[in-house]
Structure 1
Amino acid sequence: MAATALVSAVGLVVDDRVLVGAPIWAKPFKFAVSFLAYGLSLAWTLSLLPRGRRTGRWAGTVVALTGLVEMVIITGQAIRGRRSHFNYETAFDTALYDVMAVTVVVLWLATLALAVLLLRADIADRASAWAVRCGIVLALAGAAVGFLMAQPAPGQHRGSSDVVGAHSVGVPDGGPSMPLTGWSTTGGDLRVPHFLGMHALQLLPLLVVALSALAPRFPRLADGLVRRRLVLLAAAGYAAAFALVLQQALRGQPLIHPDGTTLGAAGLLLAALAAGTYATLRAPARAAVPGVAPAESPAVTEEPVS
């Protein structure tokens, strides 16, 4: 994926072809970078498994191989100057898209298998455990948004349309869009929740890394229970943000032009996160366990015993 991203970056510079309103090498580049981050995250989560590593290794291999097949088709279609997604123009294009559809389903099921392993795993650091559990569940939800994109848009009919499916809602694909991301600025765009959900698997574990790095300067964060509660709070907020941008896209509303309902919901979400963070950090410290450092005590009980 790193090599494909590099080749695609060169293609963006030397190839001036445009397809559906975007540089033709933009899709291979974005998919390669996304798969690179996704694969590295899954590899790290596999290292946390105390049991079931063999099953996890097979599931991870399936993810890698299906991702490779998808990237070969995406890159090949870019070289040909053809759409890779939603393309039923010729029998060959249809066959390639059907193969991609199968690989996406298999990739999703393999990730689901990894999620089951992580949900059942007894990972020592509770904050990290919940970060990867919530992250992979949100990644599955984000990936599932892709199935919504494959549904016929208004005016499209399976068997008679050259294109069946769309990223945008309420407007045709290829219209005015945001720089870099290519997300629509005139209608809803399902790629927004797709992106947000998929990359929870990177962002939530990075939160744990950040909290651990700040612990020497902020002793409150040295408490494993505090870190775990902050991770769960962040995961709940992330899930709410995912649901918010999903409903915004489904209503045909651009990300950068929210209406009053969306702004109000976003404001309530931010207020709830701020209040929850304040309450977590201001809660009374737990009594120390004799002979055990505060940061280690969550591995023993995690919760005060009443």
Structure 2
Amino acid sequence: MSALLQRRELRKVTSSWHKPLAYCAAAMAVLALVSALGLVVDGRTLMGQGVWLKPFKFAVSFSLYAITLAWMIAQGGRWRRTLWWLGTVAVGGFVTPEIAAITFQAARGVPSHFNFSTGLDTTVFMVMGGAAYLGWLLTFAMGVFLVAQRRVDRAMAWAIPLGLIISLAGMSVGYLMTAPTSDQAEQLARGLSLTTIGAHSVGAPDGGASMAVTGWETGSGDLRVAHFVGLHALQVIPLVAIGLRLLAGRLPVLSGAAARTALVIVAAFGYAGLTGLVLWQAQRGQALLHPDALTLQAALGLCGLVAACVALILAVSARRVPGLRVRAFAER
């Protein structure tokens, strides 16, 4: 009986979600499973990695993107029709063309990104680039309308816009990858026709030793790290707000909306700092797993600043909770 009630409650909660985005998320989950199977049964590789690894990663990422926006749109009370159309266009004009292009190139066994080998490859990459630009603009537009909503939960009212801002910054890192490398720029200046323009890596050609699953370079800087970290602030920051709200029932120090809101803001700035840190590391040609002393110092400084802010917020909040003030006085 309880399981039936739980299913009804879940159906009630999800019934208001943006349907095209929700269905898109489900389709991307299926594609991720198909791509994972492809990695097992298809032995073809590109630059040392299975040809189906990129569709798998993008399908997982797009699934998270779509389901998060489907939930966010459901939280809005105003401009629902505008948000519905923006979300629907994002499915048709951003997610579908880009994932279709990536999957098409994987099936052909050729690179999907930075590939100018043939007229077809150039066209496919241009379609991907146009879809990415449209996706950024649509996400920004949805963010504007989502920010202008009235929300009872102050922490979530901050989490959604901050998560969107950082996510847009993470998406923008992708544009850095399309710029010619120094060697490519020199060859283009000499009038040479190149089959590859742009790169993920900094300090070495693409296709070196890489991490499992992510495919990130281990011998050079990789701009995809910052792209990934920043992009998924869209999920991380609202999850922080949700987590704090759930913990508020057990931890009196989190019962105040002001404390939870302040912690969400600190988490967002800390996450933005992390995104900037891994971008700075990659641009210096440094692999994620091999930070130098300067990178480690910056990371420790960021962690220390975030920890100090969290401690200060919790200390101030504890003084405002009557039960905790009485307990602290009795312990003296």
- Scaled by the length of structure 1, the TM-score of the pair is 0.91
User: Secondary structure of 2:183's match?
Assistant: coil
Q: Percent identity?
A: 49
Counterpart in the other structure of 2:60: 33
Counterpart in the other structure of 2:24: none
User: Secondary structure of 1:213's match?
Assistant: helix
Q: Name the one with the larger helix percent.
A: 2
Does residue 102 of structure 2 align to residue 69 of structure 1?
Answer: no
Counterpart in the other structure of 2:162: 134
Cα deviation, residue 154, structure 1: 2.5
Matches within 5 A, 1:221-236: 221-236=254-269
Matches within 5 A, 1:129-278: 129-157=157-185, 160-278=193-311
Counterpart in the other structure of 1:299: none
Distance 1:94 1:64 in 2: 23
Residues 1:218 and 1:21: Cα distance change in structure 2 (over 3 Å): same
Q: Unpaired segments of 5 or more residues in structure 2?
A: 1-27, 323-332
Deviates most, 241-250 or 44-53: 44-53
Distance 1:36 1:208 in 2: 21
1:153-204: CA deviations, max 9, x gaps? 1222557110101100011111011111111111110000000011001111
Cα deviation, residue 216, structure 1: 2.1
Deviates most, 26-35 or 57-66: 57-66
Checking the alignment, whether the CA contact within 8 Å between 2:253 and 2:321 is kept in structure 1 is no
User: Secondary structure of 2:150's match?
Assistant: coil
Counterpart in the other structure of 1:48: 75
Distance 2:115 2:239 in 1: 37
Cα deviation, residue 286, structure 1: 4.2
Cα deviation, residue 282, structure 1: 0.8
Checking the alignment, whether the CA contact within 8 Å between 2:86 and 2:138 is kept in structure 1 is yes
Cα deviation, residue 44, structure 1: 1.1
Q: Unpaired segments of 5 or more residues in structure 1?
A: 289-306
Counterpart in the other structure of 1:13: 40
Checking the alignment, whether the CA contact within 8 Å between 1:62 and 1:107 is kept in structure 2 is no
Checking the alignment, whether the CA contact within 8 Å between 1:46 and 1:56 is kept in structure 2 is yes
1:32-82: CA deviations, max 9, x gaps? 000000111111111122211111111111221221111111111111011
Distance 2:180 2:89 in 1: 29
1:235-286: CA deviations, max 9, x gaps? 0101111111111111111111111111111101111111111111110544
Distance 1:269 1:151 in 2: 30
Distance 1:62 1:194 in 2: 23
Residue type at the aligned position of 1:210: G
Cα deviation, residue 226, structure 1: 0.7
Distance 2:80 2:167 in 1: 20
User: Secondary structure of 1:155's match?
Assistant: helix
Residue type at the aligned position of 2:131: T
Distance 1:129 1:44 in 2: 14
Residue type at the aligned position of 1:242: T
Does residue 125 of structure 2 align to residue 97 of structure 1?
Answer: yes
User: Secondary structure of 1:88's match?
Assistant: coil
Distance 1:104 1:186 in 2: 28
Checking the alignment, whether the CA contact within 8 Å between 2:163 and 2:233 is kept in structure 1 is yes
Checking the alignment, whether the CA contact within 8 Å between 2:252 and 2:321 is kept in structure 1 is no
Residue type at the aligned position of 1:131: A
Distance 1:133 1:210 in 2: 17
Distance 1:282 1:102 in 2: 49
Does residue 306 of structure 2 align to residue 279 of structure 1?
Answer: no
User: Secondary structure of 1:5's match?
Assistant: helix
User: Secondary structure of 2:182's match?
Assistant: coil
